[in-house]
Every structure is written in structure tokens, then in C-alpha cells.
Structure 1
Amino acid sequence: MNAILLQLAARVIRVVMIIASVFVLFRGHNQPGGGFIGGLLAGGGIVVYVIAFYNHPLLSKTLRALAPMRVIGLILALGSGILGVLFGESFLHALWWKIELPLIGAIDISTPLIFDVGVYFAVIGVMVMVILLLMEDRKWS
């Protein structure tokens, strides 16, 4: 089956969902949202793309390249907790730093943001892993 309209819509939907997921990720520690909901949005965009292009020969290889994101996410989330211990506070204690960038200006980096980014990557990685398992089960790859 070659659903051209579905493939065209999937390309647009994927981009919109990933942009929305990044927005939800970065507003999450001040308002509703965060790494989990952002990761679900990004993973949903990837799922829509997989449904549209399930018989594409490079899809399985691309998804396998994204699968290690779950490990990277867990390392970031754990690392944000360990930073508090390294600075003499408790595990997952919130720390903030102000970094000056040449063209952007001053930005605030915090351990809650690092934790949210870790959760974001972990959720995307797990969703991609589930998609890969379903593809192998159905012999789609």
C-alpha cells in the first residue's frame, strides 16, 4: 500500500509534534508540561511517521539509531541527581547556574531542566524501542 496523502500528512505532523514537544519540555518546570509529556508528543510524531512509512527500507535502521536515547536519558536524569550530592546537598537537590552565551545572552541552566531533558530522551527511546518490537513481531522490517 502506498498512501501518498498519509505520507505527506505524516511528514508535516511529525515536525509539528516534535516542535510542540520541545516547547512543552522547556516550559515544564514552570508550568504544566515537562519531559514526560514532551517525550510522549515527540514519540507520537515518530509513531505517525512509522505508520505512514512502515515499508521504507531505511526506517528500521533509523529507529535503531534512536533507540539508545533511553540510555542517554537515564544517564542525564541520574546525573542531575548526582550533581546535588557532588555539591554537598541531597540527591536530586535543585541547583541553578547562569551561563552567558555570546549571541543569546544569559540563560539559566538547572538540574530540574537536566532531569526533564533526561526524562524526555528516555520516553522517546522507550517508545522507539516498543515500535521496533512491534515491527519485528509483524515482520515489517
Structure 2
Amino acid sequence: MTIKLHHLKPAEGAKTDKKRVARGDRGKGGKTAGRGTKGTGARGNVPAGFEGGQMPLIRRQPKRPGFNNPNKIEYAVINVARLEEAFEAGDEVTVATLTAKGLVKKKRPVKVLGHGELSKALTVDVDALTGTAREKITAAGGTVRD
């Protein structure tokens, strides 16, 4: 005998009728309909974000927007144009010389940016450089130490 589609039926106990609750006090599921007595769960919808009385996540977060990265490096920046004004050809540009000339005030790592033009050959030894700053320094005949 071959099994046909109309011969198939679910396993015993797999299909059960839906439990009808809150339909009178004679059967199971009457009166409070399985919700217990009083409290938010018995009365209606639980508010979005309600965490059982503990301070909700939305109120535990800081009020200001954004993310404060503790590992972010804050650079004191200086442009190539400022190096052109402050240094002579052949000078060495370091964090110490920049601080001595008053070009960098804060005690932070120094980063050279590529804004402006450079015509002097300088030896630059700082914490970081942008790609355009590196190109302009080497194009002017200078060197960059890492």
C-alpha cells in the first residue's frame, strides 16, 4: 500500500485546542485568566522599556549624545604653512623645537597637517603626519623621521 497525502496526520498529542481563558468562573482559566491578581501584568500592557522597577537603560545612559572614546589620541596639530613661516631651510622640526617657538602649547603628541605650501628642506621628527604633509616635505627636499 502506498502512503498518500490524505493518509498523513500529526502525531498523537501534537495538536491541541487553544486554551480559552476568561470565559466565566466555571472552567479553568476563569476569573483572573491566569494573570494573577493586581499589578501591571494583570491590568494591561507593560510600558516599553519597563525593567521591573529598576532604573531603565534609557535613563541610566548619559544625557549628552555621542561616544567618548577613552583610547582616542588627541593631537596638537600644526600645518605645513606654519612650518614654512617659523623655520629656516635645513632646520630640524621636533616636538621640543615647536614647543620652544610657541607653535604647540598643549602637552600632546604633535601631528603635522598638509595645508599650505612648503619650499624649504626641513627634517621633521614628530609623532604623526598626514599623507599630504609627508608628500610636501619630501617634495621640498626635506626628510621625515618616524
**Structure (1 or 2) with the greater helix fraction:** 1
Measured against the shorter chain, the TM-score band is under 0.3
TM-score (norm 2): 0.19
Bigger relative contact order (CA 8 A; separation at least 6) = 1
TM-score (norm 1): 0.19
Larger radius of gyration: 2
